[in-house]
Amino acid sequence: MADEYKLTIKSKLNNGGYKVDWSNGQLSVTQSAEGAASGVQAVGTSAENIAGGDVTTPGYLHLKNLDSTNYVEFGKDNTGFVAVGKLEAGEEAVFRVADSSTIQLKANTASCNVAYLLLED
């Protein structure tokens, strides 16, 4: 079967005289193997691996910071946590995981709950 995963992203900005309406339609992706892991993870102030369950080759990852105050950083461990992104309170992100990396999360000031969906590639 082909094109099992479909992703649509649309961005609209209207700030004074600056306006952007950006949409590139829908992206369709074929999984090499069935599977996904999802849930809500309590993330502390020390870097920790995202709970990937039985996913062996990560593909797309959806993250949503469920905290109403604190931000969460995401990144990977290259002999020490390296943050590559940040989710402010209530924000979310979707991206493809590079290589077979283990993604890590780290809360800034206090523990935060983060919802995640990690798809097998």
- Position 25 scores a pLDDT of 81
Number of domains in the chain: 1
Structural domain includes residue 100: yes
Task: Mention every residue, 6+ apart, whose C-beta is less than 8 A from residue 114.
Answer: 40, 41, 43, 63, 64, 65, 66, 72, 87, 105
72 close to 91: Cβ distance less than 8 angstroms: no
The CATH number that applies at residue 116 is 2.60.120.770
Cβ atoms 41, 105 nearer than 8 A:
yes
Residue 44: which domain range? 32-120
25 assigned to some structural domain: no
How many Cα atoms are found within 13 Å in the side-chain-facing hemisphere of 49? Answer: 8
Let me know if residue 27 belongs to a domain.
no
* Residue 72: predicted pLDDT: 97
The reported pLDDT for the residue numbered 77 is 78
Is residue 7 a part of any domain in this protein?
no
Residue in the structure block whose two tokens are 């999984």 = 31
Q: Taken in order 49, 115, 59, 71, is the CA torsion positive or negative?
A: negative
Distance CA 93, CA 18 (A): 23
What digits encode the pLDDT tens for the residues 53-104?
889 889 999 999 999 999 999 998 767 788 899 999 999 999 998 876 688 9
Whole-structure pTM value: 0.88
Residue 100 is predicted with a pLDDT of 67
pLDDT in tens, 2-56: 768 898 888 999 999 999 998 878 888 888 888 999 999 999 999 999 988 889 8
Does some domain include residue 22?
Answer: no
Which pLDDT band holds residue 1 (cuts at 50, 70, 90)? low
Domain assignment present for 113: yes
Does the residue 43 lie in any domain? yes
